[in-house]
Structure 1
Amino acid sequence: MNDKNQPDGTNPWMKSLMIWLGVVLALVLFVQLFDSRTRVAGGEGIAYSEFLQRVEDGSVKEVSIADNIVSGTLTNDSAFRTQAPDDPRLIDRLIAKGVKFSAKPREEPSFWMILIYQSLPFLLILGVAFFVIRQMQKNAGSGAMGFGKSKAKLLTEKHGRVTFDDVAGIDEAREELQEIVDFLKDPTRFARLGGKIPKGALLVGSPGTGKTLLARAIAGEANVPFFTISGSDFVEMFVGVGASRVRDMFEQAKKNAPCIVFIDEIDAVGRHRGAGLGNGNDEREQTLNQLLVEMDGFEANEGIIIIAATNRPDVLDPALLRPGRFDRQVVVPRPDIEGREKILSVHMKKVPLAPDVDSRTIARGTPGFSGADLANLVNEAALLAARKGKRLVAMREFEEAKDKVMMGAERKSMVMTEEEKRATAYHEAGHALVSLHVPGCDPLHKVTIIPRGRALGVTWNLPERDRYSMSMNQMKARLALCFGGRIAEQLIYGADALNTGASNDIQQATDMARSMVMEYGMSEKLGWLRYRDNQDEVFLGHSVARSQNVSEETARLIDQEVRRFIEEAEARARQVLTDNLDELHKLAEALLEYETLTGEEAKRAIKGEDIGRGEGDRSRPAAPAAGSSIPRTRPKKPGPFGDPAPQGA
Structure 2
Amino acid sequence: MHQFYKNLSIWLLVALAVLLLFHYCKQSPERAHTVSYTEFLKKVDSGLLANVTVVGDTVLWKNTDGTLIKTVVPQASDALERLLRGNVTIQAEEPPQTPWFLHTLLSWLPLLFLGFLWLFSLRRGGGQTPGGSGRALAFGKSRARLINPEESKIKLDDVAGIDEAKEEVAELIDFLKKPEKFTAAGARIPTGVLLYGEPGTGKTLLAKAIAGEAGVPFFSISGSNFVEMYVGIGASRVRDLFNEGKKRAPCIIFIDEIDAVGRHRSAGGAGSSGNDEREQTLNQLLVEMDGFDANDHVIVIAATNRQDILDPALLRPGRFDRQVMVPLPDVGGREKILKVHARTAKIDPGVNWQVIARGTPGFSGAQLASLVNEAALMTARGNRPAITMAILEAAKDKVLMGAERRSLIITDREKRITACHEAGHALVAWMLPGADPVHKVTIIPRGRALGLTMQLPEEERVSHDRAYLSATLCTLLGGRIAEEIVFNQMTTGAGNDLERVSDIARRMVCEWGMSEAVGPLTFKAANPLSGQPGQILSEQTAILIDVEVRKLVQTAYDTARHLLTEHRGLLDAITAALLERETISRDEIEAIVRTGAAN
1:573 and 2:560 are equivalent in the alignment: yes
What is the DSSP-based 3-state SS (H/G/I as helix, E as strand, rest coil) of the residue aligned with 2:483? helix
The correspondence of residues 33-432 of structure 1 with structure 2, limited to 5 A, is 146-156=138-148, 158=150, 161-275=153-267, 276-277=269-270, 279-280=272-273, 282=275, 283-432=277-426
Alpha-carbon distance, 1:543 to partner: 7.3
- Name 2:527's counterpart in structure 1: 537
1:378–1:160 CA distance, 2 compared to 1 (3 A): farther
Residue in 1 that maps onto 2:592: 605
The CA distance in 2 between the partners of 1:271 and 1:325, in whole Å, is: 15
| Structure 2: distance between partners of 1:144 and 1:208 | 34
| CA shift in 2, pair 1:423/1:222, >3 Å | same
CA distance in 2, matches of 1:237, 1:505: 43
Deviations 1:337-383 (A, max 9, x none): 11111111111112111223222111111121111111111112222
Alignment of 1:518-529 (within 5 A): 518-529=510-521
Q: Is the 8 A contact 1:136 1:144 kept in 2?
A: no
Conserved? CA contact 2:361–2:456, under 8 Å? no
CA offset digits 1:19-45 (Å, max 9, x no partner) = 79x979x99xx99xx9xxxxxxxxxxx
Contact 1:234–1:245 (CA under 8 A) maintained in structure 2: yes
1:549 matched to 2:537? The reply is: yes
Equivalent residue for 1:590? 577
The answer to whether the 8 A contact 1:296-1:325 is kept is: yes
Q: Structure 1 residues 270, 505: closer, same or farther in 2, change over 3 A?
A: closer
The answer to whether the 8 A contact 2:152-2:212 is kept is no
Structure-2 change in CA distance of 1:556 and 1:308 (3 Å): closer
Over 3 Å counting, the alpha-carbon distance change for 1:566 and 1:307 in structure 2 is closer
How big is the shift at 1:325?
1.8
Q: In 2, distance between residues paired with 1:197 and 1:518?
A: 41
Structure 1 256/600 Cα, relative in aligned 2: closer, same or farther at 3 Å? Answer: same
Distance in 2 of aligned mates of 1:200 and 1:442: 41
Q: Secondary structure at the match of 2:189?
A: coil
Distance 1:247 1:503, change over 3 A: closer
Contact kept, 8 Å, 1:586 with 1:608, in 2: the verdict is no
How far does the alpha carbon of each residue in 1:547-602 deviate from its partner, in whole angstroms, 9 at most, with x for none? Answer: 761334x4444444333333332332232223322222222222122111111221
Q: CA deviation at 1:405?
A: 1.7
Aligned to 1:451: 445
Secondary structure of 2:302's match? strand
1:242: how far off?
2.1
Work out whether 1:436 is the aligned partner of 2:436. Answer: no
Deviation at 1:233, TM superposition (A): 1.9
Query: One-letter code of the match for 1:550?
Result: S
- Please give the alpha-carbon distance, in whole angstroms, between the structure 2 residues aligned to 1:134 and 1:551: 62
Q: Is the 8 A contact 2:124 2:136 kept in 1?
A: no
Q: CA deviation at 1:447?
A: 0.8
The CA distance in 2 between the partners of 1:267 and 1:305, in whole Å, is 18
Gaps of 5+ in 2: 23-114, 129-134
Distance 2:314 2:553 in 1: 47
Q: CA 1:238 to 1:361, structure 2 compared with 1: closer, same or farther past 3 Å?
A: same
On the 8 A contact 2:341/2:369 being kept in 1, the answer is yes
| Alpha-carbon distance in structure 2 between the residues aligned to 1:245 and 1:563 | 54
Residues 607 and 221 of structure 1, relative CA distance in 2, 3 Å threshold = same
**CA distance in structure 1 between the aligned counterparts of 2:455 and 2:563, rounded to whole angstroms:** 17
Letter in 2 for 1:578: T
Aligned counterparts, 1:475-486, within 5 A: 475-486=469-480
Matched, 1:500 2:488: no
**Given that residues 447 and 596 in structure 1 are in contact (C-alpha distance below 8 angstroms), is that contact kept between their aligned partners in structure 2?**
yes
Q: 1:135 and 1:258, CA in 2 relative to 1: closer, same or farther beyond 3 A?
A: farther
Q: Taking structure 1 as reference, are residues 309 and 519 closer, same or farther at Cα in structure 2, changes over 3 Å only?
A: closer
Instruction: Tell me the distance in 1 between the aligned counterparts of 2:514 and 2:521.
Output: 10
SS state at 1:356 partner: coil
Identity percentage of aligned residues = 55
Report the Cα distance in structure 2 between the residues aligned to 1:485 and 1:141, rounded to whole angstroms.
55
Please state how far the C-alpha of 1:287 moved relative to its aligned partner: 2.2
Deviation at 1:394, TM superposition (A): 1.4
Larger relative contact order (Cα-Cα within 8 Å, sequence gap ≥ 6): 1
Say whether the 8 Å CA contact 1:273–1:280 is kept in structure 2. Answer: no
Distance 2:162 2:7 in 1: 49
Q: Deviations over 1:481-507 (max 9, x none)?
A: 2232233233333x2x44332333333
Matched residues in 1 for 2:585 and 2:342: separation? 25
Give the TM-score, by structure 1 length: 0.69
**Runs (5+) with no aligned partner, structure 1:** 1-5, 7-11, 35-128, 610-649
Deviations 1:418-442 (A, max 9, x none): 2222222222112211111121111
For 1:319 and 1:543, the matched residues in 2 are separated by: 16
What amino acid is aligned across from residue 223 of structure 2 in structure 1?
Answer: G
State the TM-score, normalized to the length of structure 2.
0.74
**Residues 438, 272 of structure 1: CA spacing in aligned structure 2 closer, same or farther, 3 A cutoff?**
closer
CA distance in 2, matches of 1:295, 1:242: 15
Q: Indicate how the Cα distance of structure 1 residues 313 and 514 shifts in structure 2: closer, same or farther if over 3 A, else same.
A: closer
Is the 8 Å Cα contact of residues 449 and 596 (structure 1) preserved in structure 2?
A: yes
Contact 1:274 1:280 in 2 (8 A): no
Partner of 2:502: 510
Question: In the superposition, relative to structure 1, how do residues 159 and 327 fare at CA in structure 2: closer, same or farther (>3 Å)?
Answer: closer
Amino acid of the structure 2 residue aligned with 1:492: V
Q: In structure 1, what is the Cα distance between the partners aligned to 2:496 and 2:126? A: 52
What is the alpha-carbon distance in structure 1 between the residues aligned to residue 271 and residue 492 of structure 2? Answer: 48
Question: Does the CA contact (< 8 Å) of 2:123 and 2:137 recur in 1?
Answer: yes
Q: SS at 2:552's partner residue? A: helix
> For 1:316 and 1:557, how far apart are their aligned partners in 2?
34
Distance in 1 separating the partners of 2:342 and 2:205: 17
Structure 1 SS opposite 2:350 = coil
Structure 1 residues 193 and 564: alpha-carbon distance in aligned structure 2, compared to 1, 3 A threshold: same
What is the root-mean-square deviation in Å for CA atoms of aligned residues? 3.5
TM-superposed CA distance for 1:163, in Å, is: 0.9
**8 Å contact kept, 2:404–2:445:** yes
Shift of 1:183: 0.5
CA 1:537–1:423 in structure 2 vs 1: closer, same or farther (change >3 Å)? same
Whether the aligned pair in 1 keeps the contact of 2:204 and 2:256 (CA below 8 Å) is yes
Aligned-partner residue type, residue 419 of structure 2: A
138-147 vs 563-572, which moves further: 138-147
- Deviation, 1:278, is 5.1
Contact 1:225 1:258 in 2 (8 A): yes
Query: Which shows bigger deviation, 584-593 or 512-521?
Result: 512-521
Give 3-state SS (helix, strand or coil) of 1:179's partner: helix
The change in CA–CA distance for 1:293 and 1:396 in structure 2 (over 3 A counts) is same
C-alpha contact (below 8 Å) 2:263/2:310 kept by paired residues: yes
The secondary structure found in structure 2 opposite 1:203 is strand
